[in-house]
Chains A and B, each alone.
Chain A
């Protein structure tokens, strides 16, 4: 019987089985198609499940853009107004969706404009694939028009990069790029493709990458170290968890929750880990680090066991390492072996994916409550509430505070929004006071501290989670670094909510100048344009709030809107963010004022 002529089997099940068999047969035979390198790139993206990418065309990438034109029903390309915007949008998309974000640019300046986003994705472990055009192979090294050594430039800020000079390399290299970006500790990959390789024809066959022989993405968990960790947990009187983004990347939220609930361990988060466990969870004690909560910082130096889960002891978290948790045993749960003993020496290292290791750990830990120890966090919270928090979110002074704006957003969005922040005072305030119920909801530039991140990242976040409310909270400084991306929001009517907390200063630098440079405000006073008019220029509904009486209703109106919305809030010009651990000081020396 020839194929296709036999009658389909009875019943739905039979039909499904038939389709599966056929699909398998197709996969096995994998008939090749004769296409250009540029078209091959599109087929690679489609095979990796990409349906959305951000980018900016130019000479050396034009053949690929020509194919994007032909494939626009399957693959949406968003033209950002600057290549940096494309990378941050891809990052925002990746961070809310857990998928790989894709950005594309031309050679030379197009490629160099990706560097900040690559560095941001590298330090914050965000899966991203960037594709750049390159001058034709025969011109490489000749200082050709728009030639730049983007492989050399991007090497320190990528997990992997590769230059393709022959079309035949495209399928394998692209498959490897996606595998490397997403697997293990995720990160950015840059693929540079010479123009001749985009024009050349190949017999295209795609096979997904399932491994690279020199690369071990996830170390196998060692049961011995997990047992040793369990023993320390079971014997500890004052155990304490600090978790980071590794919990979110490893999708270990449920496992972490089960652990803290079973063993009764107070748990704090780094800003990259925020939202993995709901803010309202009684054992979620808050934020660590320079502007973190009082208890979580100060009690780091009182715990007898510190469980660091998917975090890397960044200096903004630890302060002075010489005085950081010296009294405690340290257990480090980590996927990247290079992080072990890098900053803080671990008594026990538990290597592996956090979901897997926590699952293995859970049955070995005893039920416990550690009530007295937990009460210490509550006591410290009370101190912090009375001296700092109360005045931040329920101020009695005339000027508006950033904290009360965040609180209104919490109320209006019922703690369900994705909050995307930029860098500076507003970021610290948002991380401190935003409330979350769902994971993957706090999108910020953590490690690199990239001003200009939030607006494009919010575009990506919204497109990665269309059913969710996305609110970008940005300072007046950072907003102007990527303000041009309002064009994308306008063109595609992306319903993100943009809140600029305007204090007419580069607030965080100004705060440091006030505290450590005798109030010499060198280049931190901003002379700002009319932000509302700018948003109006892009036909985005916009409002400005300067008085407390208008705040609640306007925030509610913004959240209720199903369109893009811009809100400028004129906040107190010279407010400071407290608590604060001065740079290089100990977590014990956290200042409340």
Chain B
């Protein structure tokens, strides 16, 4: 079976030790977490982990089974890129002088659909959201001018199909 990208979505209780427990499952099978994001979800008091890995579907399925087994995990799903709407965010910190000296930079800002978050005497910050390759491309364009700092977030994703967590929670509560 071929390796491909999978986005794993984990709905869970908000618990201190859970991240450790979940990351251990990947560690056991020697699978690198390519990207990780933890946030609140659409349901009150329910957290959502979004984890991206490159693995075979068979292994991904087994890993998701192991994750779902953890006491504080309500439900875990895995999806291919085609089945999700996903984005990453990046921040570029660049010397302010360049904004005036290099006309090309203004074109990059416009063409890349990025936003200027702040401008100070010494530097300005660009924010860009999009697919990984779009951010990489912008990075490539800005690199020759000098990037003072760069950071990119983990992937965040929603699925095209429904993830019925509320119903599941109600079912658990009835038991």
Interface residues of A (CB under 8 A from B): 151-152, 155-156, 159-163, 180, 211-216, 336-338, 340-342
Residues of B within 8 A of A163 (CB): 16-17
Q: Which of B161-175 contact A (CB under 8 A)?
A: 169, 172-173, 175
Complex interface bits, B3-44 against A, C-beta within 8 A gives 1, otherwise 0: 000000000110011001100100010000000000000000
- Collect the chain B residues with CB atoms within 8 Å of residue A336's CB: 69
Known contacts A162-B17, A214-B74, A338 near B68 by CB under 8 Å: yes
**Is B143 an interface residue when CB atoms closer than 8 A count as contact?**
no
* Contact call B69/A214, Cβ cutoff below 8 A: no
Whether B69 and A338, one on each chain, are in contact in the complex, defined by CB atoms closer than 8 angstroms, is: yes
For A155, give its contact among B17, B62, B169, B175 (CB under 8 Å): B17
The reply to whether the CB of B73 lies closer than 8 angstroms to some CB of chain A is yes
B28 to chain A, nearest CB (A): 7
Contact between B17 and A214, CB atoms less than 8 A apart: no
B66 on the A face (CB < 8 A):
yes
Contact A156–B24 (Cβ < 8 Å): yes
The interface residues of chain A, by DSSP majority, are classed as: mixed
In the complex formed, the residue of B with least CB distance to A343 is B62
Residue B65 at the A interface, CB < 8 A? yes
Q: Which 3 residue pairs spanning A and B have beta carbons closest together?
A: A338-B65, A214-B74, A160-B71
- Whether B17 pairs with A216 at a CB distance below 8 angstroms is no
B175 in contact with A337 (CB, 8 Å): no
Taking CB atoms, residues of chain A closer than 8 Å to B28 are 156
Q: Which residue of B lies closest to A345 (CB)?
A: B58
In the complex, are the beta carbons of A214 and B24 less than 8 A apart? no
CB contact between A337 and one of B20, B24, B68, B169 (< 8 Å): that residue? B68
Contacts A151-B17, A159-B71, A215-B71 given: A342-B169 contact, CB under 8 Å? no
**Residue of B28, B68, B69 most packed against chain A (CB within 10 A):** B69
A212–B69 alpha-carbon span in the complex (Å)? 13
List 18 extra interface pairs beyond A213-B13, A214-B74, CB under 8 A.
A152-B20, A155-B24, A156-B21, A156-B28, A160-B71, A161-B17, A163-B17, A180-B71, A212-B71, A213-B74, A213-B169, A213-B172, A214-B13, A215-B172, A337-B65, A337-B69, A342-B62, A342-B65
How far is it, in angstroms, between the C-alpha of A162 and the C-alpha of B15 when the chains are bound?
10
A582→B24 CA distance, assembly (Å): 31
Contact residues of B between 58 and 86, Cβ < 8 Å to A: 61-62, 65-66, 68-69, 71-74
Is the Cβ of B71 less than 8 Å from the Cβ of A211?
Answer: no
Report the minimal beta-carbon distance from A581 to chain B, rounded to whole angstroms: 24
Closest to A210 in B: B175
Residue from A155, A180, A213, A337 whose CB has the most chain B CB atoms within 10 Å: A213
How far does the alpha carbon of A340 sit from the alpha carbon of B24 in the complex, in Å?
Answer: 21
Supply 9 A–B pairs (Cβ within 8 Å), ascending by A.
Answer: A152-B20, A156-B24, A159-B71, A211-B172, A213-B74, A214-B13, A214-B72, A338-B66, A338-B68
A338 to B16, CA, bound (A): 24
Q: How far is the CB of B66 from chain A (nearest CB, A)?
A: 5
Supposing A156-B24, A336-B69 touch, asked if A211 and B175 sit within 8 A by C-beta, the answer is yes
Inter-chain contacts of B72 with A (CB < 8 A): 214-215
| Chain B residue with the shortest CB-CB distance to A338 | B65
Q: Please, which residues of chain A bring their CB within 8 A of the CB of B71?
A: 159-160, 180, 212, 214-215
CB distance from A65 to the nearest CB of B (A): 26
Rounded to whole angstroms, the CA-CA distance of A341 and B65 in the bound complex is 10
Q: Roughly how many angstroms separate A161 CA and B13 CA in the complex, as a whole number?
A: 14
Give the distance in Å from the alpha carbon of A403 to the alpha carbon of B172 in the complex: 50
Inter-chain contacts of B74 with A (CB < 8 A): 213-214
Cα-based distance from A337 to B72 in the complex (angstroms): 16
Find A214's partner among B12, B20, B65 (CB 8 Å cutoff). B12
**B28, B65, B173 pick with most chain A CB within 10 angstroms:** B65
Please, which residues of chain A bring their CB within 8 A of the CB of B65? Answer: 337-338, 340, 342
Alpha-carbon separation in the docked complex, A216 to B76 (Å): 13
- Chain B residues with Cβ below 8 Å from A152 are 17, 20
* Complex contact B175–A216 (CB within 8 A): yes
Report which of A214, A337, A338 forms a contact with B172, defined as CB distance below 8 A.
A214
Chain A: minimal CB distance from B20 (Å)? 5
Interface-centre pick from B13, B62, B69, B71 (highest chain A CB count, 10 A): B71
- Bound together, the chains give a CA A19 to CA B172 distance in angstroms of 34
CB distance from A161 to the nearest CB of B (A): 7
- Cα A216 to Cα B69 in complex, Å, equals 9
Residue of chain B at shortest CB distance from A189 = B71
Task: Name which residue of chain B comes closest to A214, CB basis.
Answer: B74
Q: How far is the CB of B73 from chain A (nearest CB, A)?
A: 6
Task: Report chain A residues within 8 Å CB of B24.
Answer: 155-156
Contacts of A213 in B (CB 8 A): 13, 74, 169, 172-173
For residues 83 through 141 of chain B, which have their beta carbon under 8 Å from a beta carbon of chain A?
none
For B169, list chain A residues within 8 Å (CB): 213
User: For residue A162, which residues in chain B have a CB less than 8 angstroms away from its CB?
Assistant: 17
A101 to chain B minimum Cβ distance, whole angstroms, is 19
Q: Nearest A residue to B13 by beta-carbon distance? A: A214
Residues of A within 8 A of B66 (CB): 338
**In the complex, residue of chain A having the shortest beta-carbon distance to the beta carbon of B17:** A151
- A15 vs B74: C-alpha distance when bound (angstroms): 46
Nearest A-chain residue to B64, judged by Cβ = A338
State A1–B72 Cα separation when bound (angstroms). Answer: 49
Q: Which residue of B lies closest to A342 (CB)?
A: B62
- Please report the C-alpha to C-alpha distance between residue A152 and residue B123 in the assembled complex, in whole angstroms: 41
> Chain A contacts of B62 at CB under 8 A?
338, 341-342
CB distance from A505 to the nearest CB of B (A): 33
Closest Cβ of chain B to A106, distance in Å, is 21
> Which chain A positions have C-beta within 8 A of B61?
341
User: Whole-angstrom distance from the CB of A151 to the nearest CB of chain B?
Assistant: 6
Q: Are B21 and A216 within 8 A (Cβ)?
A: no
Closest residue of A by beta carbon distance from B72: A214
Q: Nearest-CB distance from A188 to chain B (Å)?
A: 12
Bound Cα distance A503, B172 (Å): 54
Instruction: Give chain A residues whose Cβ lies under 8 Å from the Cβ of B173.
Output: 211, 213
Chain B positions within 8 Å of A156 at CB level: 21, 24, 28
Nearest CB in chain A: distance from B115 CB, A: 38
Question: What's the Cα separation between A324 and B71 when bound, in Å?
Answer: 32
Contacts of A340 on B, CB cut-off 8 Å? 65
Residues of chain B within 8 A of A212, CB atoms compared:
71
Which of B28, B61, B172 has the largest count of A CB atoms less than 10 A from its CB? B172
Across-interface contacts of A151 in B (CB, < 8 A): 17, 20
Query: What is the CB-to-nearest-CB distance from B17 to chain A, in angstroms, rounded to a whole number?
Result: 6
What CA separation (Å) do A360 and B162 show in the bound complex? 33
Look across to chain A and name the residue whose beta carbon is closest to the beta carbon of B175: A211
A155 close to B21 (CB less than 8 A):
yes
Nearest B residue to A176 via CB reads B71
Give the interface centre of A155, A159, A163 by most chain B CB atoms within 10 Å. A155
